[in-house]
Structure 1
Amino acid sequence: MSKNLMRAVQYSKYGGGVDGLKHVEVPIPSPKKDEVLIKIEAAGINPIDWKIQNGVARPFLPRKFPHVPGTDVAGEIVQVGSGVGSFKAGDKVVAVLGDGGALAEFALAKEGSTVPRPPGVSALEAAALPIAGLAAHQSLTQHAGLKLDGTGPKVNVLVTAASGGVGTYAVQLAKLANAHVTATCGARNMDLVRRLGADEVLDYKTPEGKALTSPSGRKYDIIIHCTTNIPWSTFKPNLTPKGKVVDTTPGFGTLMSVAMKKISCSKKQLIPVFTAPKKENLDFLVKLVKAGKLKPVIDSKHHLSKAGEAWGKSIDGHATGKILVEP
């Protein structure tokens, strides 16, 4: 392979799932103004990646075909574009890629979406952070109003799908906010979720888990909803009078429910979350990992040559924590 080429995984049309992914050699990109070129050490896969392949954001994403998917990367900067003042070649970083590109050996990132990766935070831990960690952080702070330094009022929080990528972070961050945390997950992950800090854990397949009923009879001030197909009618009786459901995976049903809620008299809220790649939030999360206050949960790691396995595992929907790919 030429030194100017890199290995990458891409797809050329909507649909196709794992079979739509192709292993290719493409030119290594060059950074433009305010961009850095990262030699990728690890990349994270998120459900939104294959949902985009399925056309969920058509016609806006991907911006063009063929498309190299993925947004979460950790690695080392090998080149900086003009105007970049905060990084240099050799710096270890974690970044959110605006236009995809994570399933490759190199990727371009905006300086404004890149943060330092300190010693003691591995590439795998860092690559597991961005989208899932940001979704949990922004749900709890911006939308639910929790203070992660523990100075806010004591609240009751429910996290659904607590053993998934977003859920594992939501449980830990809610505990930093001094919340009482109830969590749902599959039976095989209940001990893990307890170790992450959950006070009460429900098997989502049991009657209590399906009803989201707290074992201690608590009503929830906040529900961080990290899965799909739970109707508002299930949430509503479990909420306090001003309780909030923060939906990290909003679909058409959520948006319709929000529209209907706006014409109701209830003070209970359903809030869809669309995660933003905020640099200060990502830097905060990286520092929590460095301090040992936040632990990324890694389901599995796959070589880039086996990216299809990782892609299929994410589509299957039963990962415990994050699925990662290494070039």
Structure 2
Amino acid sequence: MAAKTMSAVQYEKYGGGAAGLKHVEVPVPSPKKDEMLIKVEAASINPVDWKIQMGKLRPFMPRKFPFTPVIDVAGEVLELGPGVSTFKVGEKILGLLDFTNGGGLAEYAVAPKTIIAKRPPNMSPAEAAGLPAAGLTALQSLKSAGVKFDGTSKSSNILITAASGGVGHFAVQLAKQAGLHVTTTCGARNIELVKNLGADEALDYKTPEGAALKSPSGVKYDYVVHCAPAVPWSVFEPILSDHGKVVDVSPNMTNIFTSLIKKVTFAKKKLVPLFLVPKEGELEFLVNLAEEGKLKTLIDSKHPLSKAEDAWAKSIEGHATGKIIVEM
């Protein structure tokens, strides 16, 4: 049985960064229909978490204050709500909490049954918590570009920017699984790391070649998965093949407008803004790869819940290598 109250981390208003996080004692939530109560073992911070705090999704998110952020979790099922039959009490799981309700920075959380998967024994809680949002974003970005994972993908060239980051390091591994030639950008200190993940070429993003995103071997890219801060379309256009496609995992309004122009003018080269919408079976696909040793979660750092503000600040600073984890 869960306790009646739990430790959690919340913020009470927009802004404030890490200093705006408060450690509180709140009631343990109860699962409703199609939900389950989980004992959280680890949670992972994503940039969208602190962007919501900054007010980037105002007035839609958060729904109300105070708000307990984070949706990436791994833990153990403690209680099943009505309508949940695919999981059992005591099972180890990983997945996404409801985006609008959050709740991951707490000892207990309520999770919808739809975006939860059983955790294989060879995945630690930290590795599992780091997978859902970033792994699904990487998978959907590749699918949006046209990459197939059924063995029918043509031999193609792909560029993955910020390849040592949360989304990027999963995208590199998945692109190699699909049989692509992978070029990456990252910081100089991570070049060997991304090559070990499967990159065929790696560019230091601070060099002139890296800033121009030009392949060392001179190839044009059929696909680009852009995980770095926004760059103008004029940088992408000359490095793409005739029907090249750029998928932007964190699009701004300028890039969204550019994508619409490309669409209505039937341009051969396309820009696609990606908005994560988890689909049935995709998380299980990633978990199966992880269980088989074909997909691994890079852990940048681990922080106890009592120091969640340190993890928050580190994510805001940027340049994390892999995922930032909070352990309960």
Q: Quote the Cα distance in structure 2 between the aligned partners of 1:277 and 1:177.
A: 20
Displacement of 1:149: 4.0
Q: Quote the Cα distance in structure 2 between the aligned partners of 1:139 and 1:315.
A: 23
Counterpart for residue 107 of structure 1: 109
Counterpart for residue 293 of structure 2: 292
Q: Is the 8 A contact 1:94 1:114 kept in 2?
A: yes
SS at structure 1 position matched to 2:139: helix
5+ residue gaps, structure 1: none
Q: CA RMSD in A?
A: 1.2
Counterpart for residue 71 of structure 1: 71
| Greater displacement, 262-271 / 49-58 | 262-271
Q: Is the 8 A contact 2:157 2:219 kept in 1?
A: yes
Q: 1:66 to 1:175 in 2, by over 3 A?
A: same
Counterpart for residue 172 of structure 2: 171
Return the TM-score normalized by structure 2. 0.97
Q: Quote the Cα distance in structure 2 between the aligned partners of 1:265 and 1:45.
A: 38
Q: Quote the Cα distance in structure 1 between the aligned partners of 2:263 and 2:197.
A: 35
Counterpart for residue 88 of structure 1: 88
Return the TM-score normalized by structure 1. 0.97
Displacement of 1:83: 1.2
| Counterpart residue identity of residue 30, structure 2 | S
Displacement of 1:151: 3.0
Q: 1:88 to 1:265 in 2, by over 3 A?
A: closer
Counterpart for residue 130 of structure 2: 128
Q: Quote the Cα distance in structure 2 between the aligned partners of 1:166 and 1:113.
A: 18
For the pair 1:35 / 2:27, whether they are aligned, the reply is no
1:9-53, CA deviations, whole angstroms, 9 ceiling, x for partnerless residues? 000111111111000000000101110001001100000000000
| Counterpart residue identity of residue 195, structure 2 | R
Counterpart for residue 325 of structure 1: 326
Segments of 4+ moved more than 2 angstroms: 148-151, 259-266
Counterpart for residue 309 of structure 1: 310
- State how many pairs are aligned: 325
Q: Is the 8 A contact 2:263 2:270 kept in 1?
A: no
SS at structure 1 position matched to 2:106: coil
Q: Quote the Cα distance in structure 2 between the aligned partners of 1:70 and 1:121.
A: 20
Counterpart for residue 282 of structure 1: 283
Counterpart for residue 269 of structure 1: 270
Q: Percent identity?
A: 60
Q: Is the 8 A contact 2:230 2:251 kept in 1?
A: no
Counterpart for residue 22 of structure 1: 22
Q: Quote the Cα distance in structure 1 between the aligned partners of 2:235 and 2:46.
A: 26
| Counterpart residue identity of residue 120, structure 1 | N
Counterpart for residue 201 of structure 2: 200
1:155-207, CA deviations, whole angstroms, 9 ceiling, x for partnerless residues? 00000000000000000000001000000000011010000000000000000
| Counterpart residue identity of residue 61, structure 1 | M
SS at structure 1 position matched to 2:313: helix
